[in-house]
Amino acid sequence: MSQKEDFINNMKSRTKIFAVDIIKFCESLKYTKASSVINYQIIKSATSTGANYRAACEARSKAEFFSKICIVTEEVDETNYWLEIIKETELSENTIELARLTKESIEITKIMSKAKHTSYISLKK
């Protein structure tokens, strides 16, 4: 397996694990009217991150890849936003897991932003 294939498989796994971890984390949030909305939104964006990354990997063209990777970047950034909201509203007592998930969302955002930038440059050639 090539280095590129290893990277792709690692990111597929990493984004899936991230989504599962977000779902599990949401089960521990304090129940409020607001947390119901936040649960829905963060689970939607976290699972969309992995699903769209997989779709990007199956893209039929550079343009399609760029389009999908833009969605991935947007969705993982949205997930980070919801994690910030959870922290600031103190909806979770599990601050260690919240910090870990926030760190992971930031790392995935950086990776996907770099892929987006590289893909954009490739499109312009």
Mean pLDDT computed over 26-40: 94
Longest Cα–Cα distance in the chain: 51
The reported pLDDT for the residue numbered 1 is 75
Q: Are 120 and 66 in contact, with CB atoms under 8 Å apart?
A: yes
Domains of the chain: 3-124 (1.20.1440.60)
Predicted model pTM: 0.93
Mean pLDDT for all residues in the chain:
96
Long-range CB pairs of 9-17, under 8 A, 24+ apart, other chains included: 11/53, 11/111, 12/50, 12/53, 12/54, 12/57, 14/108, 15/49, 15/50, 15/53, 15/54, 15/72, 15/76, 15/108, 16/50
